[in-house]
Amino acid sequence: MMNNPESIDQEKLKQILLAMILEERKNNRNEEFTDVQMVDRLLKILEELL
């Protein structure tokens, strides 16, 4: 499934993963955002951290 695995920076990956989990955790507690909004927020995390 994965494309160009050699280009993945593992530290960066870990950073994004934790940021995403925190975002999900926050939303699970507050249910502030819908699924569609959450997808945008996760994508934004990806863009910001890459």
Partner 1 sequence: MIIREITLQNFRQYKNVTLDLRCQEGKNVIIVKGEGGAGKTTFTQAFRWCLYGVTTFRDAELLNKDVADTLILGNSTTVSVTMRISTQAMDYALTRSLVYTMKKTGLKANDSSVIEVREESRDRKVLGKHEAELLIRSLLPKQLAPYFFFDGERMQNMVEELLVGKGEDIGNVVRGMVGFSSLESLLRHLKKSRNTTVLKKIEKEIDNCGSAEFGKLSKQIEDDTSKIEDTLEKIDAIENKLERARKEERNLELELSTYQDVEALQQQWEENKNRKEEYERQKEHKQKMYMKNFQSEFSRFTMIPMMMKCKGILREDDLSDKGVPDICNTTLDFLIERDMCLCGKKLSENPDCMAEIKKLYEYVPPKSAGTMIREMIETIETETARKDTFFDNMQEFVDSIDDLSEQADIEEQKNQLIDQNMLKQGDEIKALKQKQLALSDTIKADNMKVKVWSQQLGELRSRNKSNIEEREKLINANAASVRWKRYRAYAEAIYENVLSQYSENEKEQKEIFDGYINEFIYQIYGEEIKIEVSNAYKIKVLNGLELSTSQYYSIVIAFIATTLKMAKERKSSSEGVLDYPEEYPLVMDAPLSAFDKSRIRIICSLLPQIAEQVVIFIKDTDGDLAEQYMYDSIATRYEIVKNFSEGTDSSVKEVR
**Strand, helix or coil for residue 8:** coil
Regarding 11 and contact with partner 1 (CB under 8 A), the answer is no
Q: How far apart are CA 31 and CA 40, in angstroms?
A: 15
- Minimum CB separation from partner 1 for residue 29, in Å? 6
d(CA 50, CA 48): 6
Nearest approach, Cβ of residue 33 and partner 1 (Å): 10
Residue 48 in contact with partner 1, rule: CB under 8 A: no
If one asks whether residue 30 binds partner 1 (CB under 8 A), the answer comes out as yes
**What is the DSSP-derived secondary structure letter of residue 7?**
G
Is there binding between residue 5 and partner 1 (CB under 8 A)? Answer: yes
